[in-house]
Amino acid sequence: MTLSTELDPEDRKIITLARSARARNGVAEGAAVRDETGRTYVAGTVELDSLKLSALRTAVAMAVASGAKSLEAAAVVTEAGTASAEDRAAVRDLGGAATPVLVAGPDGELRARVQAG
């Protein structure tokens, strides 16, 4: 059994959304977060001359801008082996230290499950 087959449907959904954002926008990373009401926010990496944000930090910012009060879970699809400290800090700021961060490869397979804190 792989890590991905152990996911509940809602966690699988945010990985699928993150993977779709990455592919659709042709960016390095895709991310999705789920707030306390079950709403999802999806984003890709932002690379402008004046603004650079990871996909996960962008998704958290979208959730905050839309009025989310907390996060239930976050997912990032990336070539990296884990979520960066800065990404986990953004998730922690809104969701708390125990918020799960799911890290999947470009193929959608879960590589790691870490806590934001």
pTM, to two decimals: 0.93
Q: What is the pLDDT of residue 3?
A: 56
Q: Which amino acid is at 29?
A: E
Q: Above 80 in pLDDT, residue 82?
A: yes
Mean pLDDT in residue range 3-11 = 79
Contact partners, residue 106, CB within 8 Å, separation at least 6 = 19, 22, 77, 78, 79
Tell me how long the chain is: 117
Over the stretch 24-56, which tens digit does the pLDDT of each residue have? 999 999 999 999 999 999 999 999 999 999 999
